[in-house]
Amino acid sequence: MSEEKLYAVKNDEGKYWEFDTSGFCVPHISGCLTTASKKQAEIVADEQGGHVVTFVEEPEKEVVSENVGKAIDSLISADTYAQASEAFRYLFVSRKKKDFKRIMKAVRNGYTVKKKKYRVLAPKSWWQSEDKPKYMHRTFGISAYRGAGEDSVFTQKQLDLYELNGALFTKEEVTDDDEQVKY
């Protein structure tokens, strides 16, 4: 993420400096209320009164598993060293450097929990042989099926939408290793 910032000048009355017309206005009026130059905003604030307000783009949240999300919450809300130690141990012991950096980024910038995904095994009567299971395939419609692949992975919402939760179908939860995606 780049650290792009915008600056505005706000006075004591809650009005913002409009850089196009060189005057203070209420925020709902259209115009250029920001500048990319901190120096320009500081000059206006010194000469016209008010203070510089800095706008920073919110960093992108890191995607983590449900267990890592729970551990981060436990670490942040820990009341004792023992509670923090347990969460810290789960998050950081025996992790690769890239995982450590990703988890630290999630703690610092926030995170979203990765949605669980499933493969749906077609009924055995649809298989061509007992040895080769077939999975439902979402690219060619719900009636298509073939061997497991990236395009045979469904979210819970898709399972509900395509009515694949019935007794006819067997769903298997997909792990990170199964998807060949590094989270």
Q: What is the DSSP string of 7-52?
A: EEEE-TTS-EEETTTTEEE-TTS-S---BS-HHHHHHHHHHH--EE
Higher-confidence residue of 71 and 131: namely: 71
Examine the fold and report which residue of 32, 56, 80 is the final residue of a domain before the chain moves on.
56
Examine the fold and report which residue of 113, 131, 154 is the final residue of a domain before the chain moves on.
113
Query: Residues 31-70: pLDDT tens digits?
Result: 678 888 899 999 999 998 899 999 888 888 998 888 889 9
State the Cα–Cα distance between residues 107 and 75, nearest whole angstrom: 9
Judgement on whether residues 77 and 123 belong to the same structural domain of the protein: no
Judgement on whether residues 94 and 122 belong to the same structural domain of the protein: no
Judgement on whether residues 109 and 121 belong to the same structural domain of the protein: no
130 pLDDT higher than 50: yes
Judgement on whether residues 50 and 66 belong to the same structural domain of the protein: no
Judgement on whether residues 36 and 13 belong to the same structural domain of the protein: yes
Q: Which pLDDT band, with edges at 50, 70 and 90, does 27 fall under?
A: low
3 pLDDT higher than 70: no
Judgement on whether residues 69 and 15 belong to the same structural domain of the protein: no
Examine the fold and report which residue of 94, 113, 132 is the final residue of a domain before the chain moves on.
113
pTM score, whole prediction: 0.48
Tell me which DSSP letter residue 101 carries: H
Judgement on whether residues 102 and 148 belong to the same structural domain of the protein: no
Judgement on whether residues 46 and 68 belong to the same structural domain of the protein: no
For the chain, the domain total comes to: 3
3-state secondary structure of 143: coil
In terms of residue numbers, what domain contains 160? 117-179
Judgement on whether residues 169 and 126 belong to the same structural domain of the protein: yes
Judgement on whether residues 139 and 156 belong to the same structural domain of the protein: yes
Category of 163 on φ-ψ map: left (φ > 0), alpha (ψ -120 to 50) or beta: left
State the Cα–Cα distance between residues 61 and 112, nearest whole angstrom: 6
Tell me which DSSP letter residue 61 carries: P
